[in-house]
Amino acid sequence: MTKNNIIRTSHQLNHFRGNYTKLELDFIYSFISEIREEDKDFKKYSLSLSELQRKLNKPFKTRDIEPIFDTLMSKKFKVNNNKKLAIYNFFITMEFDKEKRLLSVKFSPDLKPHLLKLDQYARGNLKYILEFKSMYSKRLYMLIAQWKKRGTFKYKVEEIREVLAVPEVYDYGNFKRRVLKTAEKELFEKSNIYFEYEEIKIGKKVESILFIIKNKAIIDDYLINITKFIDYMRDNHVNDDILFATDKNNGVEIIISISKKGMLYDKYQNIEIDKIRAKEIWNTLFSYAKKKELKCLKKEKIEKEIQQ
């Protein structure tokens, strides 16, 4: 067994069409990560039950093995492009040695062009995939990993829905909320790369999604999530000029600041902002901070650099 967490798949396999659960994807990717870059042929790849439990960070018991074996041996997936449609199964055999408590798999030989001796491939890290709660986050992470060097990629809505196996009953609003927004949040909080996106419309209908890839090799702790961001701002920016804005209700200019009690208020009128509006503003400030567009944080960074 190898401790390698790197996943390599061909670009075509990375776009496979198949309906797999979170656990099934974690199981598949865990064994793909066992394939070494120098492997010239498939071997029998094995993980102890305890190692699989550690990877999945969940109790995976012996009674869970047969059901997932049955499911994965029966499920098929498609690889479809302009030249060819192919239907595959990931594994040809799956075994569990009850005495050694060892799980072993053999990949389908048809997948050799997609998993072995690859010149071009999508390269992801199993560590991040296993941390994502959403199955859509897991698949989108690998797509983003594929296009990371390019920096952007675009899909028609129906195409990305098909790749991610999004249920047909989801209208676009549900797709946006359950898939795009969830994955955007999870990747930002848990991965070294994340994305923002733009909706491309024809008339009023969203036809395509443009994904903009961001590299998060180093990130300030306070940007990990909005709670840490709010705590940081309350600790470091009391009574500072946080944001100049115009009140959407009356068109009056306001300066957003933070009181000693940690509440947002308008500096011009010295009026505390109500909780509902404050929640909206905190979300806006967090969004600006992630994009490095919050002036008070830019000024703070410059001052720190000067002091150094």
Diameter of the chain measured on Cα atoms: 74
Give, in order, the Cα–Cα distances in Å from 52 to each of 14, 38, 138, 286. 23, 23, 18, 37
In this model, does residue 249 exceed pLDDT 50? yes
Q: Is the pLDDT higher at 57 or at 209?
A: 209
Q: What is the DSSP letter of 48?
A: E
pLDDT given for residue 244 in this prediction:
87
Report, as an integer, the average pLDDT of 239-243. Answer: 90
CA distance 187 to 209: 17
pLDDT level of residue 164 (50, 70, 90 thresholds): very high
In this model, does residue 168 exceed pLDDT 80? yes
Q: Which residues, other chains included, contact 65 with Cβ-Cβ below 8 Å and sequence gap of 6+?
A: 96, 103
Q: Which one, of 237, 194, 13, lies nearest residue 120 by Cα?
A: 13
CA distance 166 to 279: 30
In this model, does residue 45 exceed pLDDT 50? yes
Question: What pTM, to 2 d.p., does this model score?
Answer: 0.70
Q: Is the pLDDT higher at 220 or at 299?
A: 220
Amino acid letter, residue 182: T
Report, as an integer, the average pLDDT of 50-61. Answer: 85
CA distance 44 to 268: 70
pLDDT digits (tens, 9 = 90+) for 287-303: 998 888 888 887 654 44
Burial class from Cβ neighbours inside 10 Å (0-12, 13-18, 19+) for residue 67 reads exposed
pLDDT given for residue 139 in this prediction:
98
Report, as an integer, the average pLDDT of 13-40. Answer: 95
